[in-house]
Structure 1
Amino acid sequence: MLKQNLQQKLLQKLSPQQIQFIKLLQVPTVALDTRIKEELEENPALEDSSLISLDEPKGEYDDLNDDKQDYDENSGEESSLDEFNVDDYLQDDDSSDYSTSFNNGDDDDDKKETPIAVESTFFESLQQQLDLVPLSNQDFVIGKQIIGSLDDDGYLRRPITSMIDDLAFSQNVIVEEDDVVEMLKVIQNFDPAGIAARDLQECLSLQLKRKDTSNPIIKKAIEVVEHHLEEFTKKHYDKLEKSVGISSEELKEVVNEILKLNPKPGDSNQVTTKQLQIIPDFHISNNDGTLILTLNARNAPELRVSRSYMEMFDHYEKASQKDKKLKEAVQFVKQKLDSAKWFIDAIKQRQQTLLKTMNAIMHYQYEYFLTGDERKLKPMILKDIADKIDMDISTVSRVANSKYVQTEFGTFLLKSFFSEAIQTESGEEVSNKEVKKILEDCINKEDKRKPLADEKLTEILKEHGYNIARRTVAKYREQMNIPVARLRKEL
């Protein structure tokens, strides 16, 4: 049965410009260049003025510096072509260019490319070693199959029976399990030591057997790895001394030998450039007790609307007759000019939002940024900053979760300055960062032969005036990636 009814709903609809701004706000500085290049490739009406030839004649209205900060919900709607004026996209050069007002003069302004050394990958290195071994055609194919089955850590976690099936179906090579095992032993003699192991125990054992096995410490280390690895990983040292029949001093040497081994031999030959490079979005400097905040110059690209596109529109607009094709051309040019202006507006609003948010955080945590002492951090949540700058909590969250600030005592993610409040016995509210700092100091100073248990850490915090439950102490310790007392024990 069909039924009609009327409903009133309150909906918040984002304009395309607002969506574009939200996406840009989340982009960290290290990825902003890529995002701008994508826009430059997609929109010919947008140009990077820093790349324009110096010989190009500069017109009176070349640079775009619109002071508009907020987006009009209806700015994306079509207007009649007769109302469209190219002057809307221009402004006198006399006004200050937004792209220079954030220039902090840092070395990263040069945007130089970092040369990368050409290195063999982990798999290429193994293949090169395989090529040097005199092998039959069948063994060579098996060797290639084993190398191709290794994971990035250098382990062979694929069952041998599965590799036999792969060889049969993909290579049309019929082999026995013993053939694969024998070839596996050959590859396990390749560098780096421990490669092609099937588990951690075999990996460590392979590395130890490359050492001087006549050394009694190495012999004991092999025994520990092959027969008592669980006790070793759980640091049950008393049990190890009895099981292996060695003194505490000998066990200490054995443990040191095992700790020197590489549990992930595949990582040892990887090119390290895969790691994400961190480029700070902000810089805070201390000028005789006064903090100075600057925005990284990469956040202020020299973008402008293409002069050739504006001239093209002028030409079309002045045409005496406007047929359907000409109107379509004018509409296309207008759309590209709109898109370029919107993007520049979004970049500008991004700069203003970043500075506004970071400035509020800096003043809220002024004492901390002066000294770098985590105990000076005040309890601060997203709402505190959102209320100060009169913006939505989600906006502050987008800035805090993806932006970094460089200070005189390190580079930090903005999110790290936010923390919950804890009440002391005197009724004062302090940041839980202060409690974590005390915990870290206590653990760093503890006797590693008798590390402090969570119960003892709870007592120490109570002595400092922090009445916190043991489970909360355990939670903070886990958040700092500090293991339990038993696993911190050293000989």
Structure 2
Amino acid sequence: MLRQNLQQKLLQKLSPQQIQLMKLIQLPTQAFEQKLKQELEENPALESGKENSEESLNSELDNSDFESSDNESITTEDINIDEYLSDDEIPNYKTQSNNYSVDDDDKQIPYASGTSFTQYLKNQINTYSLSETEEIITDFLIGSIDESGYIRRDLEDIIDDLAFTQNIYTTIEELERLLKIIQQLDPSGVGARNLKECLLIQLKRKKESSSSNLAIKILEESFEHFVKKHYAKLQQKFKINEEELKAAISQIEKLNPKPGGSYVSNNKIAEQIVPDFTIKIEEGELILSLNSRNSPELHISNEYNNLLHGYKNSKVKSKSQKDAVQFIKQKLDAAKWFIDAIKQRQQTLFLNMNAIMQYQKEYFLTGDERKLKPMILKDIAEAIQMDVSTVSRVANSKYVSTPYGTRLIKDFFSESMKNDQGEDVSTTEIKNILSSVINQEDKKKPLTDDKLAIILKEKGYPIARRTVAKYREQLDIPVARLRKKI
């Protein structure tokens, strides 16, 4: 039996404008410029530069007071769309967050690149005289090499894949023979199956010397002792003195543990960091400014506005006119939404950074990182009465140029800990001191986490050994054993 129920639900949904704004806020300057360029290309009703008409639809922003120009002339309410659209007809663009496509995240625009690492290796293998079957197998092996230059898969698995996908049946011996050929390619060490093999390939291609021969013996016969830095055991096993061991280790340290990385990094277009804000000190006061590239001059095309008024004054209301009006109004609405979103983006960025600057005023005036106060996202959110997620979007992807260098904004956020005086101090300050202590340690006898905890306590920061270990890992500093040098 069918039953009817009446339920009440409270739902909170973001409007298309809010979604568009959140997308714009999280974009750094360069990505924002790409988005702006894309919008100008896709929407003919949106134009950049100063508008000559007095009825300017450009939303201007003054960083000092954030007062925008009167926007009443933007409205297109003076035309009755109902004359063209039926009561139950809602244009699709009104239900889309970016007005042109489905509601998904913006796709990243790929960088143009040169020859890929895989193609670079295949170009080299083409200089070898191989049979048709051997060419297919070597291509398959090269395709299995990752960006670091390693083949991480078992050769047995590759044999199975060759049989299933290429209908080629081969053996481990044949695969290893062809792999040896690949390992002769550049960069040196490519095609290795593990770190030990990668280092040995590079060493064996070097000019022979007593230290390089010793280095090869160490890797082949005592790789575990080398990795764990058991130097005394290596000296005892190979009957060598400290200077001989130091020369051999020096040879190994010059090798590249990720040979593929050198090619990728050399051929990848480096993204230049463009600061979103600039902080200057003038007469002892902090001056904050928003990068002008974040404040484009935009306005709605007068031509499109005139077209809409032309259709309004037309006495004939045809089907083709209905389609034209719907298209024009879509573009005008989209342009207005985009201009408003940019204005709100500028306001949001400036308010967030200004609050951060005031909160960390002592640091920005002195550059002394010990002056950085403990600060979490909630502190700034409460100060400017915005949501924590909005502050996070600003902090995670924006940079600020200061008199002391360009910094990622999120680096100014840190948790607090109590020092021995009961005062709140930033964890950033503790990490800097920890890093300094490790840099000054005796590398022949590096400090353990327990000893580091004792030293920090003596300096006025009573923290546990496990906390020291956590901060050390966050600083990407290895354990004492791996920091040891001879």
Q: Which moved more, 1:303-312 or 1:265-274?
A: 265-274
SS in 2 for 1:221: helix
Q: 1:395 and 1:458, CA in 2 relative to 1: closer, same or farther beyond 3 A?
A: same
Alignment partners' CA distance in 1, 2:156 and 2:464 = 52
Q: Deviations over 1:77-113 (max 9, x none)?
A: 99684399xxxxxxxxxxxxxxxxxxxxxxxxxxxxx
The residue number in structure 1 matching 2:236 is: 242
Q: Which residue is 2:338 aligned to? A: 343
Q: Which residue of 2 aligns with 1:218?
A: 212
Structure 1 residue 448, shift from structure 2 partner: 1.0
Letter aligned with residue 20 of structure 2 = Q
**Shift of residue 37, structure 1, vs aligned partner:** 2.7
Conserved 8 A contact 2:396-2:410: yes
Alignment of 1:49 with 2:49, yes or no, is yes
Aligned with residue 173 of structure 2, among 178, 199, 220? 178
SS of the aligned residue for 1:401 comes to: helix
User: After the TM superposition, which of the residue ranges 312-321 and 130-139 deviates more from structure 2?
Assistant: 130-139
Question: 1:396 aligns to what?
Answer: 391
Counterpart CA distance in 1 for 2:40 and 2:152 is 46
**2:143 matched to 1:145?**
no
Counterpart of 1:36 in structure 2: which amino acid?
L
Asked if the contact 1:66/1:345 (under 8 Å) is kept, the reply is no
- Alignment correspondent of 2:363: 368
TM alignment of 1:387-466, pairs within 5 A: 387-466=382-461
1:294 corresponds to which residue?
A: 289
Maintained 8 Å contact 1:69/1:345: no
- Residue 268 of structure 2 corresponds to residue 273 of structure 1: yes
Q: For residue 218 of structure 1, what is the amino acid of its counterpart?
A: S
The answer to whether the 8 Å contact 1:81/1:331 transfers is no
Equivalent runs, 1:24-103 vs 2, <5 Å: 24-49=24-49, 58-65=52-59, 81-82=79-80
SS of match in other structure, 1:206: helix
Of stretches 415-424 and 37-46 in structure 1, the one that deviates more from structure 2 is: 37-46
SS in 1 for 2:401: strand
Q: 2:202 aligns with which of 207, 223, 227?
A: 207
C-alpha distance in 1 between matches for 2:224 and 2:6 = 69
2:365 aligned counterpart, secondary structure: helix
**Structure 1 gaps, min length 5:** 51-56, 71-76, 85-114
The separation in 1 between residues aligned to 2:29 and 2:306, in whole angstroms, is 33
* Cα distance, 1:62 vs structure 2: 4.6
Q: Give 1:174 shift.
A: 4.5
Tell me the CA shift for residue 172 of structure 1. 4.9
Q: Deviations over 1:191-212 (max 9, x none)?
A: 2221211211111111111123
Q: Secondary structure at the match of 2:281?
A: strand
CA distance in 1: counterparts of 2:250 and 2:449, whole angstroms: 27
Secondary structure at 2:286's aligned position in 1? Answer: strand
Task: Tell me the residue number matched to 2:100.
Answer: none
Quote the Cα distance in structure 2 between the aligned partners of 1:30 and 1:239.
54
Please say if residues 60 and 297 of structure 2, whose CA atoms lie closer than 8 Å, have aligned partners that are also in contact. Answer: no
Distance (Å, rounded) in 1 between the aligned partners of 2:332 and 2:114: 45
Looking at structure 2, the residues matched to 459 and 307 of structure 1 have their Cα atoms a distance apart, in angstroms, of 71
> Corresponding residue for 2:191?
196
Task: Work out whether residues 48 and 298 of structure 2, in 8 Å CA contact, stay in contact via their aligned partners in 1.
Answer: yes
1:108-137 deviation digits (Å, cap 9, x = unpaired): xxxxxxx98x85443333333323233344
Query: Does the C-alpha gap of structure 1 residues 58 and 470 become closer, same or farther in structure 2, counting only changes over 3 Å?
Result: same
Q: Which residue of 1 aligns with 2:103?
A: none
TM-score by length of 1: 0.83
Once the two structures are TM-superposed, the CA of residue 302 in structure 1 deviates from its matched residue by: 2.2
Letter in 2 for 1:82: N
> 1:31 is aligned with what amino acid?
A
What does residue 5 of structure 2 align with?
A: 4
Q: State which drifts further: 130-139 or 363-372.
A: 130-139
Tell me what 1:128 maps to.
123
In structure 2, what is the Cα distance between the partners aligned to 1:382 and 1:205? Answer: 49
Counterpart in the other structure of 2:255: 261
The 2-side partners of 1:408 and 1:479 are apart by 26
Q: In structure 1, what is the Cα distance between the partners aligned to 2:379 and 2:393?
A: 15
> Residue 275 of structure 1: CA displacement?
4.5
Give the superposition deviation at 1:258.
0.8
- Preserved contact between residue 121 and residue 269 of structure 1 (Cα < 8 Å): no
User: For 2:176 and 2:464, how far apart are their aligned partners in 1?
Assistant: 54
Which SS does the other structure have where 1:369 is aligned? helix
Partner residue of 2:223 out of 221, 229, 246: 229
**1:248 and 1:3 mapped to 2: Cα distance?**
88
Tell me if the contact between 2:215 and 2:251 (Cα under 8 Å) persists in the aligned partners.
yes
Query: In structure 1, what is the Cα distance between the partners aligned to 2:272 and 2:227?
Result: 33
Tell me the TM-score normalised to structure 2 length.
0.84
Once the two structures are TM-superposed, the CA of residue 170 in structure 1 deviates from its matched residue by: 4.8
Give 3-state SS (helix, strand or coil) of 2:12's partner.
coil
Query: What secondary structure sits across from 2:80 in the alignment?
Result: helix
Name 1:469's counterpart in structure 2: 464
Runs of 4+ more than 6 Å apart: 66-70, 77-80
1:377 Cα shift?
Answer: 0.1
**Separation in 2 of the partners of 1:242 and 1:350?**
66
1:98 counterpart residue number = none
Shift of 1:179: 2.7
Q: CA RMSD in A?
A: 2.8
| Cα drift, residue 269 of structure 1 | 2.0
Following TM superposition, by how much is the alpha carbon of 1:165 offset from its aligned partner in structure 2, in angstroms?
4.3
How many percent of aligned residue pairs carry the same amino acid? 54
Q: Which amino acid aligns with 1:16?
A: P
Pairwise CA distance, 1:320? 2.2
Going from structure 1 to structure 2, the CA distance change for 1:447 and 1:165 (only over 3 Å counts) comes to same
Q: Are the aligned partners of 1:69 and 1:349 in contact in 2 as well (CA < 8 Å)?
A: no
Structure 1 Cα separation of the partners of residues 464 and 163 of structure 2: 61
Supply the distance in 2 between the matched residues of 1:142 and 1:321 (Cα, whole angstroms): 71
Per-residue CA distance 1:372-428 (angstroms, 9 max, x = gap): 221110111112212221222221111111211122222221111111121222222
